[in-house]
Structure 1
Amino acid sequence: MSTATRHSGRHTLTARPCAIVVDGGAALAEDLDHGLAVVPQRILIDGEEFVDDGRTGAYASFYRRLRKGHTTSTSTPAPGEYLDAFRRCDSDAIVCLTIPAIWSGMFDAATLAASMLAGEEGRRRVTVLDTGTAAGGLGLVARLAADLSAAGRTSDEVLSAVQRACGEVRTYGALSTLTYVARSGRVPALIAGISNSLHVRPVFRLFGGETGRVALTRTTSGAVSALQRAAVEHLNGHPQWLLVFHADAEADAATLRDGLASATTVARSETVPLSPIAGAHTGPGTIGFAALPLRGSTIQG
Structure 2
Amino acid sequence: MAKVQVITDSTADIPKDLVEKLGITLVPLKVHLEGQSYLDGVTIEPQEFYRKLAESEEMPTTSQPSPVDFVEAYREAAKDGETDIISIHLSSSFSGTYQSALLAQSMVEDEFKVTVIDSKTASYAIGMIVVEVAKAAQAGHSLDECVAVANRMIEEEQVYFLVDTLEYLQKGGRIGKASAMVGSLLNIKPILSIDREGVIFPIDKVRGKNKANTRIIELLKQNTVSDRSYRAGILYTDNREEAEKWAERLQENIPSLEETVFAEIGPVIGSHVGPGTVAVVLAPVQE
Structure 1 residue ranges (4+ consecutive) displaced by more than 6 angstroms after TM superposition: 190-193
Matched to 1:65, the amino acid is: K
| Per-residue CA distance 1:212-270 (angstroms, 9 max, x = gap) | 31332443323322221221122334321111101111111111111111111211211
Letter in 1 for 2:142: T
2:103 counterpart of 1:116? no
* In 2, Cα distance between equivalents of 1:30 and 1:165: 21
Higher relative contact order (Cα pairs below 8 Å, separated by 6+ residues): 2
Which residue in 2 is equivalent to 1:268? 259
When structure 1 is superposed on structure 2, of 215-224 and 146-155 the one drifting more is: 215-224
Shift of 1:199: 3.2
5+ residue gaps, structure 2, are: none
Residue pairs, 1:46-85, within 5 angstroms: 46-53=34-41, 58-69=45-56, 70-85=58-73
| Residue of structure 1 equivalent to 2:221 | 232
CA gap 1:186/1:18 in 2 versus in 1, 3 angstroms: closer
| Identical pairs, percent | 24
RMSD, aligned CA:
2.4
With structure 1 as the length reference, what TM-score do the two structures score? 0.84
Q: Which residue is equivalent to 1:38?
A: 26
Tell me the equivalent position of 1:23: 9
Corresponding residue for 1:216? 205
Name the structure 1 match of 2:157.
169
Contact 1:177 1:200 in 2 (8 A): no
Q: Find the aligned partners of 1:173 and 1:271 in 2 and give their Cα distance.
A: 14
Alignment of 1:92-107 (within 5 A): 92-107=83-98
Shift of 1:20: 0.6
Query: Separation in 2 of the partners of 1:71 and 1:58?
Result: 17
Partner Cα distance (1:129, 1:157) in 2: 14
* Aligned twin of 1:4: none
Distance in 2 (CA, whole Å) between partners of 1:234 and 1:192 is 24
Q: For 2:107 and 2:158, locate their aligned partners in 1 and report how far apart those are by CA, in whole Å.
A: 33
Structure 1 residue identity aligned to 2:270: G
Q: How many residue pairs were aligned?
A: 277
Aligned counterpart, 1:251: 241
Deviations 1:87-125 (A, max 9, x none): 12135200000122232211211011111122xxx3341
Q: Provide the rounded CA distance (Å) in 2 between the counterparts of 1:95 and 1:27.
A: 18
Name the CA distance, whole Å, in 2 between partners of 1:276 and 1:20: 22
For the residue of structure 1 that corresponds to 2:205, the secondary structure is strand
**What is the SS of the residue equivalent to 2:11?**
coil
Deviation of the 1:78 alpha carbon: 0.6
Q: Is the 8 A contact 1:201 1:216 kept in 2?
A: yes
CA distance in structure 2 between the aligned counterparts of 1:30 and 1:236, rounded to whole angstroms: 31
1:284 aligns with 2:275: yes
Structure 1: runs of 5+ lacking an equivalent? 1-14
Kindly indicate whether the alpha-carbon contact (under 8 Å) linking 1:217 and 1:223 is maintained by their aligned counterparts in 2: yes
Alpha-carbon distance in structure 2 between the residues aligned to 1:192 and 1:167 = 26
Report SS of the residue matched to 1:31. Answer: helix
> Do 2:33 and 2:61's aligned partners in 1 also have CA atoms closer than 8 Å?
yes
Amino acid at match of 1:66: L
Q: Is the 8 A contact 1:171 1:207 kept in 2?
A: no
Does the 8 A contact of 2:162 with 2:279 survive in 1? yes
Q: Is the 8 A contact 2:93 2:199 kept in 1?
A: no
Q: d(CA) in 2 for partners of 1:124 and 1:262?
A: 47
Contact 1:173 1:287 (8 Å CA) reproduced = yes
The residue that corresponds to 1:182 in the other structure is: 170
After TM superposition, the score normalised by the length of structure 2 is 0.88
Tell whether the 8 Å contact from 2:85 to 2:114 is kept in structure 1 after alignment: yes
Alpha-carbon distance in 1 for matches of 2:252, 2:279: 16
Q: How far apart are the structure 2 equivalents of 1:178 and 1:206? A: 15
